[in-house]
Amino acid sequence: MPESPSIASPSAVAEPSLFPCNTARVAISILLTVLDSWAVIAFGGTLCHVSVHHPIWLTGIVLLFVSLFASLARTWYLALPVRPR
């Protein structure tokens, strides 16, 4: 019986990348954390003082910061390899 050639999986055929995927994700997460922290420290107080008597503006700024932290949390969640698959 002739042997049939085995088909290599795509992961075995693909060339290795310069950085492992997890290392790149952690580096991007660190960079985004630093940039987001800088933005909150630099502009958070000023935005809160400006919008203190404007409830609609304050609501918008709170939503802005909540979405900023939610996207940062999602970035770290994707970067950490300890999540169930």
Tell me which residue of 36, 48, 18 sits closest to 76, measured CA to CA.
Answer: 36
The single-letter DSSP state of residue 4 is: P
pLDDT tens-digit profile of 6-48?
A: 565 555 545 555 556 778 888 889 999 999 899 889 988 898 8
Q: How far apart are CA 21 and CA 79, in angstroms?
A: 9
Residues 6+ apart with CB under 8 A from 69: 36
Band of residue 78 on the pLDDT scale cut at 50, 70, 90: confident
Domain extents in the chain: 18-79
Identity of the residue numbered 33: T
Q: How far apart are CA 71 and CA 67, in angstroms?
A: 6
